[in-house]
Amino acid sequence: NRLLKEGVVEDDTDDSESAKLKLLDTTTPLGQAFHWIVFDDLFQIDPEDEHLIQRFVLALIYFSNGGENWNYISEADGVWLSNRSECDWAFEIPDTSIGEMHGIGAFGCINGTVTLLDFFEVNLVGTIPPEIGHLRGLKYLGL
């Protein structure tokens, strides 16, 4: 209900029943993210936690952009959708062009709020969902 109340899940018809149905449709990225956070997320975030929406939106990005096939930070790699804080959904890879390590994923957190998302060489496929606008602390998005 909080996702609906705060307008994270919107519906063109302004019909809250239609928005609820979108959340329950597990054939869509929106429904998959909702199902994951309610039933599969071992982190078990409190529904009143201010970071619930952030965690949901990051899960939605995963399901909207072929997350199961991502390099380095997929759920299978134990990074994205892990039972840790979403601020730990990051990994460092060597960037041979500059001879340094490059952080990818969700990091740069301030007080638990993700400020930086970088998908360098991750194999992101798809469209970034408009719900990314609910990541209020996001300052940088690297694609």
Position 3 scores a pLDDT of 64
Summarised one tens digit per residue, pLDDT across range 83-94 is: 999 999 988 887
Confidence class of residue 66 from pLDDT cuts 50, 70 and 90? very high
Q: Indicate whether 14 pLDDT > 60.
A: no
Region 9-34 average pLDDT: 78
Per-residue tokens: 40: 């599969």
| Residue 12 pLDDT greater than 90, yes or no | no
100-107 sheet: strands from edge to edge: 90-95, 100-107, 116-118, 140-142
Q: How far apart are CA 55 and CA 45, in angstroms?
A: 9
- pLDDT score for 5: 56
Q: Name the band, by pLDDT with cuts 50, 70 and 90, for residue 71.
A: confident
Q: What pTM was computed for the model? A: 0.87
